[in-house]
């Protein structure tokens, strides 16, 4: 199997266009046309993980964090990033990063955290804007169903748990075919009136190319009439952080012990206890301080994240319990998530979890 096939699967699950602007997800070293000899899933692609890939004869590392993030000006091995990149390139190891695009989908990093905590009724904490578009196309009556089905199959018409959503109105279209055309109906040089269906279908922006080509391939007109508009609606399944509920409310001290054990954290840094039960839980794997105000606004009892600075703990304002469980600790199950996704899709292929504990933070 080619590396390209694995990447193409991952990018259907977590489209690269969902990554944040500052990010550098994607194929970082190696060549997608290589034959894949095995996959290692990791949170970080550091030198030890590259060595592991060499030893285990896996030439593809799928990592959450991009090893090259802010750009490289020299590659002479002076720091861990350069050393890793040199080793990967010299040994023909491909490194693919699936970062904020995996953070931003409902079944991604935070979805896995929520599953580990047993949270229910999950929604995205900060849904991303500008992710939805609407397509209008005008189709002769006889071909309307074929075009609708093609757009649905390409991923259009999904609204939460509903699929095949569309709105259809019939009306009369006009056109006058010019010289050299081959019109679906009517006569060249004369205005033609055609009974048409106007089909309206919502779709995620990242599927635009696929949807337009499916529409064009199924549409009988030589010149397909269609409009695309950007919607201000936010996509309920795409965005940062997540919020969910515990089955039963928990005492806050018991809850802190619970997350300490679930995430195998040596230390949980938290704000002042508020003497109230925990039911509504907001989460964000990795550095999530940008979501504190959002967690407050939605009335979460607790916000679990990592990488908080001293002053950010004050932002709890005695209205929410904030718990910093550590960056690695919060995201470690992403390794399982990637391994499970890939092993499910390619059951006969070697998909391993790294045996290297890449957490650079230790406690004494
Ligand atoms: Zn992270």
**Does residue 103 lie within any of the structural domains?**
no
Centroid of ligand 1 to alpha carbon of 307 (angstroms): 10
pLDDT tens digit sequence for 119-174: 999 999 999 988 999 999 999 999 999 999 999 999 999 988 899 999 999 999 99
Average pLDDT value for the chain? 96
Residues 194 and 271 in one domain: no
Residues 246 and 118 in one domain: yes
Residues 71 and 122 in one domain: no
CATH of the domain at 176: 3.30.70.120
Residues 116 and 246 in one domain: yes
Q: Which residues are CB-neighbours of 238 under 8 A, at least 6 positions away? A: 18, 104, 105, 106, 124, 127, 128, 131, 204
Q: Which residue has the tokens 């309920």?
A: 236
Centroid of ligand 1 to alpha carbon of 143 (angstroms): 48
Residue 72, by phi and psi: left (phi above 0), alpha (psi -120 to 50) or beta? Answer: beta
Angle CA 308–309–311, to nearest 5? 120
Centroid of ligand 1 to alpha carbon of 327 (angstroms): 6
Query: Is pLDDT at 50 greater than 90 in this prediction?
Result: yes
Residues 157 and 304 in one domain: no
Residues 120 and 192 in one domain: no
Tell me the H-state helices in 199-333: 208-218, 252-262, 292-297, 310-314, 327-331
Centroid of ligand 1 to alpha carbon of 63 (angstroms): 10
Identify the pLDDT of residue 184: 93
Centroid of ligand 1 to alpha carbon of 95 (angstroms): 16
User: pLDDT class for 321, splitting at 50, 70, 90?
Assistant: very high
**Does residue 363 lie within any of the structural domains?**
no
Residues 175 and 310 in one domain: no
User: pLDDT class for 300, splitting at 50, 70, 90?
Assistant: very high
Residues 167 and 225 in one domain: yes
Centroid of ligand 1 to alpha carbon of 331 (angstroms): 6
Residue 20, SS3?
Answer: coil
Domain boundary among 171, 200, 231: 231
DSSP H or E run through 97: strand 94-97
CATH of the domain at 268: 3.40.1390.30
Residues 279 and 299 in one domain: yes
User: pLDDT class for 234, splitting at 50, 70, 90?
Assistant: confident
Centroid of ligand 1 to alpha carbon of 285 (angstroms): 7
Mean pLDDT of all residues in 206-215: 96
Q: Which residues are CB-neighbours of 84 under 8 A, at least 6 positions away? A: 45, 46, 47, 50, 67, 95
Tell me the H-state helices in the chain: 3-13, 47-55, 80-90, 100-103, 109-117, 144-153, 208-218, 252-262, 292-297, 310-314, 327-331, 334-345
Centroid of ligand 1 to alpha carbon of 175 (angstroms): 55
Q: Identify each DSSP E strand in 162-207 by its residue range.
A: 167-176, 191-204
**Does residue 193 lie within any of the structural domains?**
yes
**Does residue 50 lie within any of the structural domains?**
yes
Identify the pLDDT of residue 245: 98
Centroid of ligand 1 to alpha carbon of 22 (angstroms): 13
Domain boundary among 231, 254, 286: 231
Mean pLDDT of all residues in 109-113: 98
Residues 145 and 206 in one domain: yes
Centroid of ligand 1 to alpha carbon of 132 (angstroms): 26
User: pLDDT class for 238, splitting at 50, 70, 90?
Assistant: very high
Domain boundary among 231, 257, 285: 231
Give φ, ψ of 31 to 5 degrees. Answer: -135, 125
Give φ, ψ of 159 to 5 degrees. Answer: -130, 110
Mean pLDDT of all residues in 166-194: 96
Total count of residues recorded for the chain: 364
Beta bridge partners of 2: 35
Q: CA-to-CA distance for 331 and 24, rounded, in angstroms?
A: 18
Centroid of ligand 1 to alpha carbon of 287 (angstroms): 7
Give φ, ψ of 23 to 5 degrees. Answer: -80, 170
Residues 156 and 201 in one domain: yes
Identify the pLDDT of residue 71: 86
341: containing domain: 3-98+333-353
Centroid of ligand 1 to alpha carbon of 53 (angstroms): 21
Identify the pLDDT of residue 160: 80
Count how many domains the chain has.
3
**Does residue 359 lie within any of the structural domains?**
no
Identify the pLDDT of residue 159: 86
Query: Is pLDDT at 236 greater than 90 in this prediction?
Result: no
User: pLDDT class for 223, splitting at 50, 70, 90?
Assistant: very high
Query: Is pLDDT at 9 greater than 90 in this prediction?
Result: yes
Centroid of ligand 1 to alpha carbon of 208 (angstroms): 29
Residues 78 and 135 in one domain: no
Centroid of ligand 1 to alpha carbon of 244 (angstroms): 21
**Does residue 344 lie within any of the structural domains?**
yes
**Does residue 346 lie within any of the structural domains?**
yes
Identify the pLDDT of residue 83: 97
Centroid of ligand 1 to alpha carbon of 248 (angstroms): 29
Centroid of ligand 1 to alpha carbon of 110 (angstroms): 11
CA 141 remoteness from chain centre: 37
Beta bridge partners of 199: 137, 168
Q: CA-to-CA distance for 198 and 137, rounded, in angstroms?
A: 6
Centroid of ligand 1 to alpha carbon of 64 (angstroms): 7
Query: Is pLDDT at 207 greater than 90 in this prediction?
Result: yes
């Amino acid at each position: 199997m080619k590396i390209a096939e694995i990447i193409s699967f991952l990018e259907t699950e977590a489209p690269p266009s969902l990554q944040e602007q500052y990010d550098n997800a994607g194929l970082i070293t190696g060549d997608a046309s290589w034959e894949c000899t095995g996959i290692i899933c990791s949170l970080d692609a550091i030198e030890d993980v590259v060595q592991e890939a060499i030893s285990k004869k896996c030439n593809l590392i799928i990592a959450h964090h991009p090893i090259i993030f802010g750009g490289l000006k020299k590659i002479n091995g002076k720091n861990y990033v350069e050393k890793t990149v040199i080793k990967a390139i010299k040994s023909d190891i491909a490194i693919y990063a699936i970062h904020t695009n995996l953070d931003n989908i409902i079944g991604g990093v935070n979805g896995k955290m929520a599953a580990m905590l047993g949270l229910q009724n999950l929604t995205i904490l900060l849904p991303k804007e500008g992710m939805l578009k609407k397509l209008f196309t005008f189709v002769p009556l006889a071909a309307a169903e074929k075009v609708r089905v093609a757009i649905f199959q390409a991923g259009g018409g999904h609204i939460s748990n509903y699929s095949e959503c569309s709105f259809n109105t019939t009306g009369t279209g006009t056109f006058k075919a010019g010289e050299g055309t081959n019109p679906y109906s009517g006569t060249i040089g004369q205005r033609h009136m055609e009974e048409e269906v106007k089909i309206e279908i919502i779709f995620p922006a990242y599927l635009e190319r696929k949807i337009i080509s499916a529409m064009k391939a199924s549409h009988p007109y030589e010149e397909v009439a269609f409009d695309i508009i950007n919607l201000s609606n936010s996509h309920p399944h795409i965005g940062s952080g997540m919020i969910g509920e515990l089955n039963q409310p928990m005492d806050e001290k018991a809850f802190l012990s619970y997350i300490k054990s679930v995430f195998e954290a040596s230390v949980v840094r938290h704000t002042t206890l508020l003497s109230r039960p925990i039911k509504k839980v907001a989460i964000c794997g990795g550095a999530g301080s940008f979501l504190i105000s959002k967690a407050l606004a939605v009335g979460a009892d607790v916000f679990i994240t990592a990488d908080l600075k001293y002053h950010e703990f004050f932002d709890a304002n005695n209205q929410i319990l904030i718990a910093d469980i550590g960056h690695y600790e919060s995201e470690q199950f992403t390794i399982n998530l990637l391994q499970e996704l890939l092993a499910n899709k390619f059951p006969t292929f070697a998909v391993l979890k790294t045996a290297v504990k890449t957490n650079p933070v230790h406690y004494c």
